[in-house]
Structure 1
Amino acid sequence: MSNSEGKHSVFVYGSFQEPDVVEVLFERSHDSVSALLSGFHRYRIKGRLHPCITPLDTGKVSGKVLLGLTDDELKNLDMIEGSLYERKTVEVVLTGSSEKLQVETYVWADKEDPNLYGEWDFEEWKQLHKEKFMEANKKFMEWKKNPQGNRIEAFEHLVKEDGGDAPTS
């Protein structure tokens, strides 16, 4: 949710639930609260370290709401999420208080994508992939400070599950 000072609240449900990742991306820590998003399912994406969500009437996704993001921080998220995600306004329920809150989140643009499967697990991600994802975010921030070269190649290469070759397009 945006206010007149350009502050945003964003529901995150994957790697951005991890405070260390958020601190690297925004170069500062952020307040967050636990929340539940109904009407969506969180999927694994074949070959990638991060999840996505798509609409599903009976689905529920737990995550966190990052509070007080600036316009520039929201642009960072937009760049990281890229064209595969669409930023949408959704309603979440805060876990501690049952308060409803209008926030923004990133929804997978292709809900029929054949690479979506199962349920993404945050604890498993922390154990197996956090360090690699942290490296990818550090590279993104280096690129942002010196934007020569292709961000897509530099970042996408690092968030692939197998560390495969960088995309050619």
Structure 2
Amino acid sequence: MAESNLPTTYNAFFYGTLMAPEVLYRVLYNISKTPTNPSLLKTITPAVLPDYCRHKVRYADYPGIVAESGHTVRGTYVTGLTPDNVRNLDLFEGSEYVRKEVTVRLLATKNQDEGIMGEAAETGEERPAQTYVFLDRTGLESEEWDFEYFKREKLRNWVGRSEEYAEVDAGGSYEVQESKEEKHDPTGGRGVGGAISQQLKDEIEAKYKEKWMAEELSRIREQEQRVS
């Protein structure tokens, strides 16, 4: 399957852990800080997604969104993602989510010092974007997921330099919650040293790459048929 048939770049809307650049770039490139190589940098813009609501995932550090009329979700609109980047994102999100194309409204922050999630106003611009919708509503709590709390209390479990992986694997720094008398990983394998993170850290096998391309091309064709 020729990879040239795929889009050269993708745009995405992130509303959870991937709003943190440290997590985003670890998933995209296995580095835990903003790249110094300009070719690897992504453009990140604040945005809102209408008619969806964000909830905490039960027993987890991360959220999920589901369609709910009248609600909006604040997040980040990221451009310039390559097919390789999106393959990594699909693997990172896993079977709990499905990737869908949505339309987001762009925002402009009023004070740059407040960062990407500071006070902002809508610009009137709308953009199509890929996002990850949670599949099992029963796995969501009623309360909202708090990004500031995540950064303050949980982010350390999701990022780390490559030499830190071994320390965590050896029983290091995970915060483990008890759930139904079992130890439960609140990162769902996506944190430092987790199974999904380790797979991302390793080179993606050619077999997985070919499978992903075939599925992505099929998804694109189905979307084009719906539009036509």
The corresponding residue for 2:28 is: 26
The corresponding residue for 1:103 is: 129
DSSP 3-state at the match of 1:87: strand
The corresponding residue for 1:118 is: 143
Q: CA deviation at 1:22?
A: 1.3
Query: Given the two structures, how large is their TM-score scaled by the length of structure 1?
Result: 0.78
Q: CA deviation at 1:14?
A: 0.5
Q: 1:9 to 1:129 in 2, by over 3 A?
A: same
Q: Distance in 2 between matches of 1:53 and 1:26?
A: 22
Of residues 81, 88, 94, the one that matches 1:82 is 94
Query: Given the two structures, how large is their TM-score scaled by the length of structure 2?
Result: 0.58
Q: CA deviation at 1:142?
A: 4.0
Q: Distance in 1 between matches of 2:99 and 2:7?
A: 20
Q: Distance in 1 between matches of 2:139 and 2:64?
A: 13
The corresponding residue for 1:53 is: 65
Contact 2:157 2:192 (C-alpha < 8 Å) held by counterparts = no
DSSP 3-state at the match of 2:158: helix
The corresponding residue for 1:159 is: none
Q: 1:75 to 1:137 in 2, by over 3 A?
A: farther
Structural RMSD (CA): 2.2
2:125 partner amino acid? E
1:143 partner amino acid? Q
Q: CA deviation at 1:5?
A: 5.0
* Identity within the alignment, %: 27
Larger Rg: 2
Q: CA deviation at 1:143?
A: 2.8
In structure 2, stretches of 5+ residues that fail to align are: 1-5, 30-39, 109-122, 161-189, 206-228
Q: CA deviation at 1:29?
A: 3.6
DSSP 3-state at the match of 2:145: coil
The corresponding residue for 1:143 is: 199
How many residues align? The count is 145
2:148 partner amino acid? E
In structure 1, stretches of 5+ residues that fail to align are: 149-169
Q: CA deviation at 1:133?
A: 1.6
